[in-house]
Amino acid sequence: MKRSCRFSLPVTVAITAIAYIYVSTVFVFVDQWFGLRSSPGIMNAVLFTAVALMCTFNYAVAIYTDPGRVPATFMPDVEDAHNPIHEIKRKGGDLRYCQKCSHYKPPRAHHCRICKRCVLRMDHHCIWMNNCVGHANYKVFFIFVLYAVIACLYSLVLLVGSLVNDSENDEQQSEGSLRTIYVISALLLVPLCVALSVLLGWHIYLILRNKTTIEYHEGVRAMWLAEKGGDVYSHPYDLGAYENLISALGPNILCWVCPSFRHLGSGIRFQTAYDDKMASASASK
């Protein structure tokens, strides 16, 4: 599902940074180290361009893809034997109901105060996309972060390599202008590499446990309450590492780094760790 997009200041900053890193990497770092007309120069320029295109494409798709809307006709069926999980409010134990949207919330759905609506399997609202990260665009967001990390690390390696190789310059004026580009690029790339790598590692952790950022924080509280009551908390959507990867990225491993959406369900119901137990219990009767 596509959404109308309005540019914001953070989105403009992100696009400007992507453009600057691409231009400085190809036309300065690669050119200074290898020369754009040499075979190594052409190879590195083509490889970096491919990574940059994948990064930019997935960024655009993540921005324009609607993260998932709760159907107006959604109504939880508490008598559905095939759906053993019904999320309830912490206080009162009632089924979760959004007063602002005037409808029930499906499992894993949350209301976004910025988007002013409920989002299916909401992870967080990303200001750098001016969009929520949810059920329909989580995979493409993850792939964007993956390619962004690769692009930033690749650019940083080329920056360092060109600096080491280009120790002597012919013209003093050219040396001054290039130094400015190197300084700005280093100040941009080093923090980006650290921040994006941490973000990538965080979402790899979440995917391996089939959690969203919101569910992680809710799980910390649930775990504390369970331990306080002498119980053990278990995340209901954790199916095991491999099954969790398939749930988030799709069954075809070759498509894990491609923006495919065929594996996505409705976002209303998700497989849980209790499904197999329910099926086994039913079969034994």
Helices 39-64, 9-24: axis angle to 10 degrees equals 170
Select which of 55, 115, 118, 126 is catalytic: 126
List Cα–Cα distances, 255 to 58, 138, 230, in angstroms: 14, 15, 43
Say whether 16 sits in a helix, a strand or coil: helix
- Alpha carbon distance 163, 142 (integer Å): 32
Question: Nearest Cα to 101, choosing from 87, 112, 90, 91?
Answer: 112
Residue 126 is among the residues annotated as catalytic for this protein: yes
CB-CB contact of 125 with 116 (8 Å): no
| Segments in the chain forming alpha helices (H) | 9-24, 31-33, 39-64, 138-165, 172-208, 213-228, 241-249, 275-284
CB-CB contact of 153 with 146 (8 Å): no
- Alpha carbon distance 131, 124 (integer Å): 9
Q: Which residues are catalytic?
A: 126
